Amino acid sequence: MSLTLPRWLSNRPPSAAVEITARRVTAAVIAQHGDTRVLSGYAGEPLPAGAVEPALNAPNIHDPAALTSAIRSALDKLTARPKRVALVLPDTVGKLSLVRFEKVPQKAQDLDQLIRWQVRKAAPFKIEDAQIAWVPGIELPGGGREYVVTVARRDIIEGYERACQAAGAYPGIVDLATANLVNAVLGTDGRAIQSADWLLVHVAFDYSTLAVVRGADVIFFRTRPSERDEDLADLVHQTTMYHEDRLGGGGFSRLVLAGASLRGPEAAERLRRDLEARIGMKVEPLDFRGAVALRDRIAASPELLDSLAPAIGVILRERVA
């Protein structure tokens, strides 16, 4: 079983990834040493304010030259400069939805058309201008199935791809950040597949995303603009109640927090305490070192782990069985 989530283009999995946010570009490379995966290199470059403004239905890249320069600079800092990369974008660039059908068409083409018809109603742009990807989700009683569907404006995705290509890197996979944080958890701890439902809280600079995972399937996904910590804690509590009332859950087996340390250690600690007080369970940071080892001279600070986790997740996604 391949533990993967939606992407716009898939090919032979690359060993390098580039993540682009509104603030910076991060690159990471994984090498295989026997049976061990090792982070062989990483680098980051800040972006000028306003150069990139991730959005679902508005221009994203306001300074293509600055973005290309940052990507090129980050890749040049790696020991071996990769030509093929996976590309990770903020959740706000695409819309991830869960679409369910009580009866699934037998023909793949019919299913694809049915999914497109469903997401057309919620997309804020013409479906003809959209890039759509989907993967099967949980099975439903009676033969139905839920599908995890990602939709984005094609021209926006192509803008990010052009910036990578201009820097000499060619993206074979394009995906959203939180999807690959889920991949990082699943790739690090295979027990997550057999355990009860768990919750991922991803805190970015300009948005927050909550994802509930059952086995290897996302069963809840919600992205909202950045909020105060207490508002986010309330949202997590509401999600916990929704999970119990509407998703047949009996409580979460774990709560994984990602990205919070990038806001600073004090803010991260305050958020952790707020979440634990609100939902009454331990909050654990996302730590991918169970799947990817760090070289001796790399210090595993919380900030480093959070900054690399989306890139690590997208590299792992094709390499976990």
**What pTM was estimated for this model as a whole?**
0.93
Both tokens of residue 208?
């927050």
pLDDT in tens, 69-124: 999 999 999 988 999 999 999 999 999 999 999 999 999 999 999 999 999 988 99
Both tokens of residue 42?
């990483």
Q: How far apart are CA 207 and CA 189, in angstroms?
A: 26
Confidence of residue 249 (pLDDT cuts 50, 70, 90): confident
Confidence of residue 189 (pLDDT cuts 50, 70, 90): confident
Confidence of residue 257 (pLDDT cuts 50, 70, 90): very high
Q: Tell me, what's the pLDDT at 320?
A: 47
Higher pLDDT, 180 or 7: 180
pLDDT in tens, 222-244: 999 886 777 899 999 999 999 99
Confidence of residue 12 (pLDDT cuts 50, 70, 90): low
Whether the pLDDT of residue 196 is over 60: the answer is yes
pLDDT in tens, 120-171: 988 999 999 999 999 999 999 888 999 999 999 999 999 999 999 999 999 9
Q: Tell me, what's the pLDDT at 242?
A: 95
Q: Tell me, what's the pLDDT at 76?
A: 97
